[in-house]
Structure 1
Amino acid sequence: MDIDEMASFYEMLGFSVTYRQTRPNPYVCVRREDLNLHFYGMPGHVPEESHSTCVVIVEDTGVLFEAFAAGMRERHGKLLVAGIPRMTRPRLRNDRYTGFVVVDPAGNWIRISKGTTEPEATTPLAKAVENAARQADARGDERQALKILEGALKKADASEDRAEAEAYRDELIERITSSSPGESGQRPGA
């Protein structure tokens, strides 16, 4: 892992570097408001095989997502939703928490979650979106999430939830098609 690449990525998201060392071991600390993240370099690290994750609890996932997305769009011209690095959109998962995930250049999964639960989904399609989000955005199993959404969309009528489900399906397809051939995408133990 390259700490300069990590610092640059998090600066794009609005963090500032608060500490950096190259010797005896590479190490970088970044901060945005009261969020402090620390990373160390490791020779031979393969981002696609990373098992590193942390959960960050915030009051409003939407505000933080929009700030991160603005930085990403400014630097890359778009929201990175596939590959490494990437960021998912905030969604209600079937655990009734709203959240999104940032996967940084080292393959660390930073899970941003709202600290309070939301009301349960009431329509079958909304429940399917929650289930799919749990599979893809929390576990990294985009293929299973896509199966869930496609099955639910086949059964669904023209409900107000349909546009959100179709947009998420399209995002999952993009994430799957941009994965490298040997990459499963699934997070062990997630």
Structure 2
Amino acid sequence: MANELTIPLLPCVDIDEMASFYEMLGFSVTYRQTKPNPYVAMRREDCNLHFYGMPGHVPEESHSTCVVIVEDTGPLYEAFAAGMRAVHKKVLIAGIPRMTRPRLRNDRYTGFVVVDPGGNWVRFSKAAQEPEAKTPLARAMENAARQADARGDERQALKILEGALKKADASEDVTEAEAFRDELIERITSSGQRPDA
């Protein structure tokens, strides 16, 4: 088999809300229908995402996900972030919808996640693996990214990062780890929880 094209079909409450969200990220509507079933197809370059309206769908309880492999996650993240800033005046990092920053995970791939208004986790991953982490803090960052950005367990990620920051060597640059810790705290508190609970 060669030259196949696989397109995920993901659930949502409202196809118009999904279209607006993805248009903010630079996608275009390629197909839309309201009857007999709500359906919208979105495309950005070679990335196709399709959504169907599902009565009773609860975004916070969604288990839907897909992976989009890209050459480099950095420029794509920046384009998505610019779209969010243009509409919301900030990058949405907590709640639904939200987007994580590109981070190296312990599977050696750099990636970021867009959680859309339907609660679907669209995972953008760099095609090539990165070199192995050299320091305990770098390995902790990867583990924290796996917990928070892949599994949605911000509390466990925060524990990992806080432990690693306490043990960090004075020669290590902790700026990125501290920024990630602050983001995790914001994500936890925006969900109505206390970070230390």
TM-score, reference length from structure 2: 0.90
Aligned match of 1:7: 19
Aligned match of 1:47: 59
Percent identity between matched residues is 86
Q: Which structure 2 residue ranges, 5 or more long, are not aligned? A: 1-12
Alpha-carbon shift at residue 76 of structure 1 (Å): 0.3
CA RMSD of aligned residues (A): 0.9
Of 92-101 and 159-168, the range deviating more from structure 2: 159-168
Of residues 122, 142, 164, the one that matches 1:110 is 122
Aligned match of 2:185: 173
- Mapping for residues 111-150 of structure 1, pairs under 5 Å: 111-150=123-162
Of residues 19, 24, 40, the one that matches 2:31 is 19
Of 124-133 and 156-165, the range deviating more from structure 2: 156-165
Alpha-carbon shift at residue 158 of structure 1 (Å): 3.0
**Do 1:125 and 1:161's aligned partners in 2 also have CA atoms closer than 8 Å?**
no
**Do 1:102 and 1:110's aligned partners in 2 also have CA atoms closer than 8 Å?**
yes
TM-score, reference length from structure 1: 0.94
Q: Which structure 1 residue ranges, 5 or more long, are not aligned? A: 182-190
Question: Aligned letter for 2:127?
Answer: G
C-alpha distance in 2, partners of 1:37/1:106?
13
**Do 1:126 and 1:161's aligned partners in 2 also have CA atoms closer than 8 Å?**
no
Aligned match of 2:7: none
Are the structure 2 counterparts of residues 180 and 52 from structure 1 closer, same or farther at C-alpha, using a change threshold of 3 Å?
A: farther
Alpha-carbon shift at residue 180 of structure 1 (Å): 4.4
C-alpha distance in 1, partners of 2:29/2:185?
35
Aligned length: 181
- Mapping for residues 154-165 of structure 1, pairs under 5 Å: 154-165=166-177
Are the structure 2 counterparts of residues 162 and 71 from structure 1 closer, same or farther at C-alpha, using a change threshold of 3 Å?
A: same
C-alpha distance in 1, partners of 2:131/2:81?
26
Aligned match of 1:61: 73
C-alpha offsets along residues 113-164 of structure 1, whole Å, 9 cap, x if unaligned?
Answer: 0011000110110110000000000010000000000000011123443100
